[in-house]
Amino acid sequence: MKQSDFELERGRSRSHNALPLQRSDMPMDYLVSLGNYTSGRTIRIPENLGPTQSLQGFDLTYRNIIDYIVRITYRIWETNDREVEYIGECYSPDSQVFDDYGLQLGNQKIIADTQHTTAAFPDIVLDAEEVIWAGNDQIGFHTSHITRISGTNKGLSRYGNATGKTVNFFVIANCVALQNDIFLEHVLYNTSAMLQQLGIDPWEEAAKLAQNPPAGWPRSQDNWDQLRSVTSPAIPISQAEPILGFDPDAFARETHHNVWNGDLSAIINSYAENLFFEGATERTFSGRTAYRNYVNELRSVFHDLQLQVDEVYWMGNELDGWLISTRWSAEGTHLGDGIYQSPTGRTCQLWGITQWQVLNGVIQKEWQLFNELDLMMQILAA
């Protein structure tokens, strides 16, 4: 089947012809995985660069999609020469990046933002902690990349003068790449965590930003709709291609729907008793009870919260376990007292990315980020 025929058969999603994934696009083992690439995270970049994978149209230096993601990040951010301009070679000129604030367009915006950040944190390190991938070089690779950022604030930043403080926080970037170009990205920078570590009150900074908004904020209704729908299949994989046994797509959708739309009893069946959790704004805890308290903390503020799952992809199998990436979005009315100040009655937009380690149908570890600083800005602008 020709690629053009394939696209017509599968149907196009809304951004740059990014195609929604099918079950057959999910890797069933960990041959090409970050764990294998880094020998269990004992090294960052191996000498042999990992197994060879078909990468039609990609720079010949890359061996597989993990190698591509890890080494473009290192090349841009950490090499002695800081090849920030290389972004122009691995992000398309009309790339679309949905971030904490809104929609950013084009690779020149990414280059400018990266130059700003490297000047503010000249010793910055971006260490890959996980990459969940799916797809291929014909329809595009979808990657969900957890990166641990560390560095010392030695230069002027958009948040003020140099503080001399060291930061260490994680981000999650979900990208779609084809022929060496990332052309679509959903990224959550965990900015509220960085601000706290710099000694800046996130609420005070949110108030400043709401008065003097960054590019893309507030997002339009069209941008919000596109953020939610892009790469989302018309019919969930679990319904379009049902299977017997454990289904990562059905599990991710049902768990998110039940837990975040009010059925907290689902936590008992879906989460390990000794669950590890790391989330936005330096939230770290363990156990089901702490997770239930976290969900209640958010839902007590947004009583009518309605969450939807926008995209799910995964790696693995029953024996080795699963790595699952879920991108989700929600709307809710700011009606309750709690962690987000006094109720304003404003309808707010939340969106996030969650990564799970799942074994025997139970979530062992969860990393979750959502647009918390943006949420504060929405509340303060009410």
How far CA 267 is from CA of 208, 257, 272, in Å, comes to 38, 11, 9
Does 3-207 match 228-380 in CATH topology? yes
3-207 CATH, one of 3.10.450.50, 3.40.50.970, 3.30.1280.10, 3.40.50.300: 3.10.450.50
At residue 46, the 3 state secondary structure works out as coil
Looking at the predicted structure, is the pLDDT value of residue 18 above 80? yes
Six-digit token string for 163? 């503080």
Average pLDDT over residues 56-85: 96
State pLDDT tens for residues 236-295. 999 999 999 999 999 999 999 999 999 999 999 999 999 999 999 999 999 999 999 999
**β-sheet with 181-188: strand ranges across:** 103-105, 91-98, 181-188, 166-178, 140-152, 125-136
Pull the structure tokens for residue 293: 């308290």
pLDDT for residue 80? 86
Instruction: Please state, in angstroms and rounded to a whole number, the distance separating the CA atoms of residues 19 and 316.
Output: 21
35 three-class SS: helix
175: nearest Cα among 241, 260, 110, 83 = 110
Q: What are the two backbone dihedrals, phi and then psi, of residue 307, each rounded to the nearest 5 degrees?
A: -105, 140
Domains of the chain, by residue range, sit at 3-207, 228-380
In sequence order, the 6+-apart residues with CB closer than 8 A to the CB of 1 are 9
Measured between alpha carbons, how far is 242 from 257 in angstroms, rounded to an integer? 18
In order, the DSSP letters of 107-149 are HHHHHHHHHHHHHH-TT-EEEEEEEEEEEETTTEEEEEEEEEE
**228-380, which class in CATH?**
alpha beta
Q: For the segment 346-370, what is each residue's pLDDT rounded down to a tens digit?
A: 999 999 999 999 999 999 999 999 9
